[in-house]
Structure 1
Amino acid sequence: MRILYVIAEAAPFIKVGGLADVGYGLPRALRAMGHDVRVVLPRYRAIPGSAYDLRPLRPPLPVPLGLAGEIRVVEVEVSETTGVPTYFLWDEGYFGRDRVYGYPDDPQRFIFFCRAALALLRHLDWQPEILHGNDWHTGFLFLWLATVGRRDRFYRPIATVFTIHNMAYQGITGDALLAFGGISEHVDRLEVEPPGHINWLARGIAHADAVNTVSPRYAREILTPEFGFGLEPLLRRRADRLVGILNGLDPEAWDPRTDPALAARFDAETLERRMENKRAAQEAFGLPVREETALFAFIGRLIEQKGLPLLLEAAEALFARGIQMAVLGTGMPEYEAALAAWPDRFPGQAGVRLAHDERLARLLYGGADVFLMPSKFEPCGLGQMIAMRYGALPLVHAVGGLADTVLDIDQEAGTGFVFSPFSVEAFLTAVDRALALYADRPAWRAAQRRAMNRDFSWSASARAYEDLYRRALAWHNP
């Protein structure tokens, strides 16, 4: 199949969060299966062109905007560094900025990106069978194809798939931007949209031929008010077109046998070497080197979704159990301030680095005993998969992709510790279960080996997407 994969970020070129890992792993897996996959994303200023052999595509791309025939010229570059043709769309005004997200005109920036991606297809004279968009940044594609595009013989045959990575981010904006995107006809307001506004996540859900999210459990959860963020009525109406497909993990990018960030490389049969990584991690976080003390780790964004309020509330009781804990991440100022006080409150037990540092994160994955992921909700999550691959047993809240990937240690094939409900009491009970198993070294080693032998590669996920693409084609051309 010919597949255009449209996304706001993709590793290794630009990464803000887990979306970029999907933008790297899935297209590569589909390409390996023989599909003609091409990726398109904005050419942000932060992308170093020389590092990825970006080559200019000539002539430049004319992009129509508005209703008066305005043309804006976009520079296009292409790279095949990842093995997948990746097109970068450059506009100084929209993408020549320091950050990827977080600007008041983000909706306008990504509508422009979508119009440019659509124009690129004609420019290349390449008609995909499937257009696959990701998150609210690409929602405009689906509305445009359902209105303007359906009158155009080039765009009309293209079937569409929309992936929801996180319901919390919806891209709501005033409906005046419809004209900016070149949509002149009347667009009926969706019941989930405020009057005079467009919800771009909702538009992807409403107009795509097929919709998926990034774990089977999350696909069920978002049909409920607790997880649907106000869009559950629309999602329930489209439930027959909604599936959950678990994200994968690139086994080459995350391999403790070859990872240069580790103090000692290891596999499931040489787990004794992990101790060297534990010692290095303790030193890196300013903790006393204590081989027998359980080292807990938290790596990620310091936001409410990731369970920070629960973690802060549980802190006194958690450290009273004699553990050590290393925290690595950045986020909300109030959470950063609270965590920054931990080393003084819990001397010799808490080490905190308020930074994004992938090398240090890899060392911590390879040295921690328990990996904490007490998320309030979690569409999929990659941290728990990485932790298992590196022999750190995850302790997780039973939601979304965490529930789909971590088998509780009470089960025969258990690989971690799962708690529910979302409460301090349930969390601490899971901590106690982890410490009890940690005291039984043979049982702990067996659990580590089971975790490390789990297969989270992209191949199974890619086959599920291949099936979804076929269904989208059938639904688009009944």
Structure 2
Amino acid sequence: MPNQKILYITTEMYPYQEDTNMAAVVNKMALKMHNEGNDVRVFMPRFGQISERKFQLHEVIRLSGMNIIINDLDQPLIIKVASLPGERLQVYFIDNEEYFKRKQYYFEDDGTAFDDNDERAIFFARGVIETIKKLNWVPDVIHLNGWMTSFVPLYLKTYYESDSYFKDAKIILSLYNEKDAGFSKNVDEKLKFDNISGLKALDNPTFQNFVIESMEYVDMVVKGDEFLNEDLDKAFNETATPKSEYLDIDSINKLY
């Protein structure tokens, strides 16, 4: 159905990331929906590996300047934007020097997970939500891709529960086989600062367990990878949330 406002929140998208299924799928979904007459916007982190010069990113001053408070610490929110190369599709980048300037995504060179991945996910989720509100653009559909985006529905259904801005948006979560890791700092204390507690994922806080937790906070779950790892597949099969098996790009319209 055309003329919908569709928001893709993702951690990967081609050509900013290459050689991953998620990056390719998000690119194809967003372009397909855009070319079919929908108002499509994409939000993603401005990871340090993304070249601002190559992809012509520029800061949006009117959207930047907010501070996101995480565990009583103010972090400045910078918003950058670019058009997808060769297309008239805008991609917004959530940026912060402390969280996203580093060249790796989630892990040190030795494979150790960054000890602030929890804060980065909270900052990204809240940064997207606050920026969308500042744009005064109300999405009909929010489609989540990547473990970091699982914090978005958790915040929308708790911290922002009394905010009616997104109340009519349909939230879709795509599942992918991503490298998993635990959070090495006290993510429960940081969430508690925002009055979020009682999550099952806090019993064993890992990337994947937050994705599994967020299945209960969305309107639909879909397989982004055709075959999921055992734990993710089990959670997919057991969730009471409406769900869809893997869809090829030609059939993606069925989700909306």
Normalised TM-score (structure 2): 0.82
Q: Distance in 2 between matches of 1:16 and 1:113?
A: 23
Matched, 1:229 2:231: yes
Letter in 2 for 1:210: M
Q: 2:239 matched to which residue of 1?
A: 238
Alignment partner of 1:85 out of 83, 90, 96 = 90
Q: Distance in 2 between matches of 1:153 and 1:182?
A: 22
Deviations 1:49-94 (CA, angstroms, capped at 9, x unpaired): 22223232113141422354x5422221111233211001221111
Q: 1:324 matched to which residue of 2?
A: none
Q: 1:174 to 1:153 in 2, by over 3 A?
A: farther
Q: Distance in 2 between matches of 1:67 and 1:100?
A: 22
Moved more, 53-62 or 118-127: 53-62
Matched, 1:65 2:66: no
Q: Distance in 1 between matches of 2:37 and 2:91?
A: 16
SS where residue 101 of structure 1 aligns?
Answer: coil
Q: Distance in 2 between matches of 1:237 and 1:48?
A: 41
Which sections of structure 1, spanning at least 5 residues, go unmatched? 248-457, 470-478
Q: 1:331 matched to which residue of 2?
A: none
SS where residue 6 of structure 1 aligns?
Answer: strand
Alignment partner of 1:110 out of 115, 121, 138 = 121
Q: 2:190 matched to which residue of 1?
A: 180
Normalised TM-score (structure 1): 0.46
Moved more, 176-185 or 104-113: 176-185
Q: 1:78 to 1:196 in 2, by over 3 A?
A: same
Q: 1:213 matched to which residue of 2?
A: 223
Q: 1:50 matched to which residue of 2?
A: 53
Q: What are the residue-to-residue correspondences of 1:44-443 with 2, within 5 Å?
A: 44-59=47-62, 60-66=64-70, 68=72, 70-80=73-83, 81=85, 82-102=87-107, 103-104=113-114, 105-166=116-177, 169-170=179-180, 172-173=182-183, 176-180=186-190, 184-185=194-195, 187-190=197-200, 193=201, 195=203, 197=205, 199-214=209-224, 218=227, 227-229=229-231, 232=234, 234-238=235-239, 241-247=242-248
Which has the higher relative contact order, 1 or 2, with Cα contacts under 8 A spaced 6 or more apart? 2
SS where residue 61 of structure 2 aligns?
Answer: strand
Q: 2:110 matched to which residue of 1?
A: none
Q: 1:25 to 1:176 in 2, by over 3 A?
A: same
Q: Distance in 1 between matches of 2:242 and 2:182?
A: 23
Q: Distance in 2 between matches of 1:187 and 1:462?
A: 34
Q: 1:21 to 1:61 in 2, by over 3 A?
A: farther
What percent of counterpart residues are identical? 21
CA-atom RMSD in angstroms? 2.6
Offset, 1:244:
1.6
Q: 1:93 to 1:28 in 2, by over 3 A?
A: same
Aligned residues: 242
Q: Distance in 1 between matches of 2:202 and 2:75?
A: 31
Q: 1:143 to 1:172 in 2, by over 3 A?
A: farther
Q: Which protein is bigger by CA-based radius of gyration? A: 1
